[in-house]
Amino acid sequence: MKTIGRDFGDTARKVYAVASGALGNGKAVVVNSNGTVSVVSGAPQALGSEVEFESGAVRAEITASVFDPDSNKVIIAYCDTDNSNYGTAVVGTVSGTSISFGTPAVFESGHTSNIGATYDTANDKVIIVYKDEDNSNYGTAVVGTVSGTDISFGTAAVYLDNRSNFNHACFDTNAGKAVITFRNDYNSDAIARVGTVSGTNITFGTAVQVDDNGNYVRTVFDSNSNKVVVAYRDGASANYGAARVGTVSGTDITFGDQEFFSSSATADIDVAFDTASNKVIIAYKDGGDSDKGKAVVGTVSNTDISFGSAATFNSSAVTTVQVIYHSAGDILGFFWTDSGEIGEFNTGKVSGTSIDSFSTKAVYHNARTSVPTVVYDASSTNVVTAFRDVGDSNKGNSVVVQLSFTNLTSENFIGITPSAYPTGAAAEIQTKGAINEEQSGLTAGQSYFVQTDGTLGTTAASPSVFAGTAVSATKIIVKG
């Protein structure tokens, strides 16, 4: 069947197209890339209530969080100041915009800081990497197993017998291995090592230098190219933002050439992978432009990476930048703290080799916010942000953020349905110039815009899409 076609024999303008999903009566409709049509749908932005994950004080140190797709749980790893600064983790269960937590469990009985985490989908395990301050600040990793709302740990293993910082990790699903990246503070090297999980233990391949003066080291797996991308600040090149592409083979990793993504002083780097566009996203603070929040799109080709133009997601100063990819909405979520340490966020979308369609920034915690960590919960399609609540005795607090997303763009609105159609039906869609008579509660003479959830409103949403002009309470001239 031809997916879309126009009926030229009717003075009322309309097209016929295959319905992808059920189409309700009088609903705004978009055309999909394959020629089918769907109702305009999406989720509005919403915040849940704040929930404590740690009733004691959390140390002002890097924390981490990760999503376990096997149990559909969120794991938060942090330093518990009220328990001798021990490394601690807790399991969170998200339901809508609510979250509840199990009992916190210690993964390191010693001073712990600079925490990172990833999830091993081959072995169904959590991997936490950190600096063990009670063991000469060595870089250390431990394997965690989630059971219900609890988490237990195997024996910790050292991957750097020197002072480590900016410990981070990702999981290479192609190789079935973890890649751990970190800074060796003894010689300033940025280093990567491959980690192999067996049971509740982890072993490491050869340490490989990524950069001889790297900082703010972060890593992400590109599932399109089956490569690992390491982003960092290159201290030997005026602190420019740089990246290299890594290839895992067995228990080793090799890297391609260095490429710069920022030609000014760069800090607070974070990374994500956009599975819809198959692009690597690097977010950062631009020290050469008043510490604004910026992001670039990276395209991996073999062992090389190239970057598009930087886009600004926040035009004032930012710190503790975080970026996540929201697969349900095909959007990016940017989280940061502003100059007053207020927790803020917005969204953007990859377009070619850049990022646009930034939403208006919003606040997730309107008080001093320290060491936040952000994770996308694929089961609820919401985001969990956990942080040190400075205004509440430094307790560990969290909030679930429902990011606004929609299938509506500035160009894909096609018209309105005159009746309901089931999935797969050849649906009639009234297009520009047609009068749709299936509305209610409209005001004659009023212009209406398509909202991101498919309703009609008198003010433009983002994107701004004109639906038409009402001629009565029940009738609207489509795109009039």
**Amino acid 5: pLDDT:** 52
The identity of residue 70, as a single letter, is D
Cβ neighbours around 363 below 10 Å, total: 13
The predicted structure's pLDDT at residue 449? 97
The amino acid sitting at 141 is A
3 state SS for 12-25: CCEEEEEECCCECC
Residue 263, token pair as written in the block: 């030609």
The predicted model gives 265-287 an average pLDDT of: 98
pLDDT at residue 2 above 60? no
Kindly report the CA angle at 361 between 357 and 364, in degrees rounded to 5?
Answer: 135
Whether 182 contacts 206, CB under 8 Å: no
Range in 11-20, 204-213, 272-281, 315-324 with the lowest mean pLDDT? 11-20
Give the other-Cβ count within 10 Å of 415's Cβ.
27
Nearest to 321 by CA among 281, 366, 275, 263: 281
Rg (CA), the chain: 25
Percent of the chain with pLDDT over 90: 93
Looking at residue 233, its pLDDT comes to 98
Q: Is the per-residue pLDDT at 3 higher than 60?
A: no
3-state secondary structure of 387: strand
Confidence (pLDDT) at 8: 43
For residue 410, the model assigns a pLDDT of 87
Neighbours of 176 (CB within 10 A): 14
Number of residues written out for the chain: 480
pLDDT category of residue 480 using cuts at 50, 70 and 90? low
Single-letter amino acid, residue 180: I
Reported as a single tens digit per residue, the pLDDT across 48-59 is 999 999 999 999
Side-chain-side CA neighbours of 346 within 13 Å: the count stands at 20
pLDDT of residue 51: 98
Cα(344)–Cα(340) distance, integer angstroms: 11
**pLDDT tens digits along 410-427:** 899 999 999 999 999 999
**What does the pLDDT read at residue 463?**
86
Q: Average pLDDT, stretch 228-232?
A: 98
What's the pLDDT tens digit per position in 146-192? 999 999 999 999 999 999 999 999 999 999 999 999 999 999 999 99
CA 46 to chain centre: 16
Q: Residue 4: its pLDDT value, please? A: 52
SS3 state at 226 = coil
Two tokens, residue 115: 């925490």
Confidence of residue 469 (pLDDT cuts 50, 70, 90): very high
Give the pLDDT confidence score for residue 375 in this predicted structure: 98
Is the distance from CB of 400 to CB of 97 less than 8 angstroms? yes
Residue 428: its pLDDT value, please? Answer: 96
Per-residue confidence (pLDDT) for residue 461, from 0 to 100: 87
Q: Which residues of 50-88 are buried (b: 16+ CB within 10 A; e: fewer)?
A: bbebbeebbbebbbbbbbbeebebbbbbbbbbbeebbbb
- Asked if pLDDT for residue 136 goes beyond 80, the answer is yes
**Pick from 97, 82, 89, 57: which is nearest to 397 by CA?**
57
Give the pLDDT confidence score for residue 409 in this predicted structure.
87
Q: Write out pLDDT tens, residues 59-112.
A: 999 999 999 999 999 999 999 999 999 999 999 999 999 999 999 999 999 999
Q: What is the mean pLDDT of the chain?
A: 95
